[in-house]
Homo-oligomer: A and B are copies of this chain.
Amino acid sequence: MPEMNPTPATAAACTPAAGAPRLTAARCELLREITILDQTGERRRIAIPVERPLTIFVDRRELVTLMTLGVNPELLVLGYLRNQRLVDRVEEVESITVDWDVGAAAVRTHEGVADIAARTARRVVTTGCGQGTVFGDVLSQLAGIRLPDAATTRLRQSMLARMLETMRQQETVHRKAGSVHGCALFRIGGAGCEMLMFVEDVGRHNAIDTIAGWMALHGVDGGDKAFYTTGRLTSEMVMKSAQLGVPIIVSRNGVTAMGHELAERLGMALFGRAANRHFLCYTGFDRFDSEPEPPPTAVRVVV
């Protein structure tokens, strides 16, 4: 049985912040083998990703059930709580205990989450390619977001090319089994870029939530960072990135109008259809140092 755990490439800043919660390190099977039948009539074995439910309990109160691949469930829970603004500072959480036998994540806080019932009452089903949820409150908190200005955090075309090359070389569950989304956090600065974390999940929201958990746990700031995602640049993706203070997102996929509008309003840069050396910069041209490549020339055959 192939088992593969794309452990976060925590090359830097991997010491938990002071007062950080105690986390278990629950593990589970990521891939399963099944027998398929193809168009030639051949039966063969392939690997597929395993999704599983994880029900989050906050101080014994059931909050929500997430479906996840389960690579870093504790970070996923921490990031989910933070992105839903149920937890503002990581020090508020005492511990997160994940037990796959019962599919539960028990969150203990030091002093409880104030007004948790009221704060989770309003439901907005957002849509990337699924129907995601954000609690109504989140939308109203965008007004307070201030991202570093365009002179400070910007991306050079050669850096973007390096990011895409790093992703191309990354060992992934997707390459083995498909059906998952990946998300990576890069530090960018000067002429270089460095991948700090990479995670895959059945949902791209889970992937970014997990990175949010990692950032919160290690006290990592988003100001000099860029996200890479395999998912679309929808309003939720842009919103989550903005909440984490990350002003640049690069996607293998496209953009929707709300994602575009939101990013424009927040002064973020969005790059889509990014693979190999190709990309489209959708917005935030002022954060981008274009180093134009010559358009591909037709192959000329001399006889």
Q: Which residues of A contact B (CB under 8 A)?
A: 32, 34, 36-42, 46, 48-53, 64-68, 123-133, 157, 177-179, 181, 201-206, 231-236, 253-260, 273, 277-283, 285, 288, 290, 292-295
B203 and A128 contact, CB distance less than 8 A: yes
Residue from the list B53, B124, B178 in contact with A65, Cβ < 8 A: B124
Contacts of A255 in B (CB 8 A): 48, 179
B260 and A34 contact, CB distance less than 8 A: yes
Report how far A179 CA is from B49 CA in the complex, Å.
Answer: 23
B257 and A49 contact, CB distance less than 8 A: yes
B123 and A123 contact, CB distance less than 8 A: yes
If A127-B66, A235-B67 touch, whether A256 touches B49 (CB-CB below 8 Å) is yes
Contacts of A128 in B (CB 8 A): 129-130, 202-203
If A40-B292, A49-B256, A260-B48 touch, whether A205 touches B282 (CB-CB below 8 Å) is no
Contacts of A233 in B (CB 8 A): 179
Q: A51-B259, A131-B132 are in contact. List 13 more A-B contacts (CB 8 A).
A: A32-B257, A38-B279, A38-B280, A39-B157, A40-B293, A41-B290, A48-B255, A49-B256, A49-B257, A53-B124, A127-B201, A129-B231, A131-B203
Which residue, A32, A48, A231, has most C-beta atoms of chain B within 10 A? A48
Contacts of A66 in B (CB 8 A): 125, 127, 131
Q: Which residue of B lies closest to A256 (CB)?
A: B51
If A130-B132, A231-B129 touch, whether A64 touches B280 (CB-CB below 8 Å) is no
The 4 closest A-B pairs by CB, nearest first: A130-B130, A41-B292, A127-B203, A178-B254
Which residue, A39, A277, A293, has most C-beta atoms of chain B within 10 A? A39
Report how far A282 CA is from B129 CA in the complex, Å.
Answer: 22
Contacts of A290 in B (CB 8 A): 37, 41
B206 and A39 contact, CB distance less than 8 A: no
A285 and B37 contact, CB distance less than 8 A: yes
A135 CB to closest chain B CB (Å) equals 10
Report how far A273 CA is from B38 CA in the complex, Å.
Answer: 10
Report how far A113 CA is from B205 CA in the complex, Å.
Answer: 32
B279 and A234 contact, CB distance less than 8 A: no
A280 and B36 contact, CB distance less than 8 A: yes
Report how far A42 CA is from B259 CA in the complex, Å.
Answer: 22
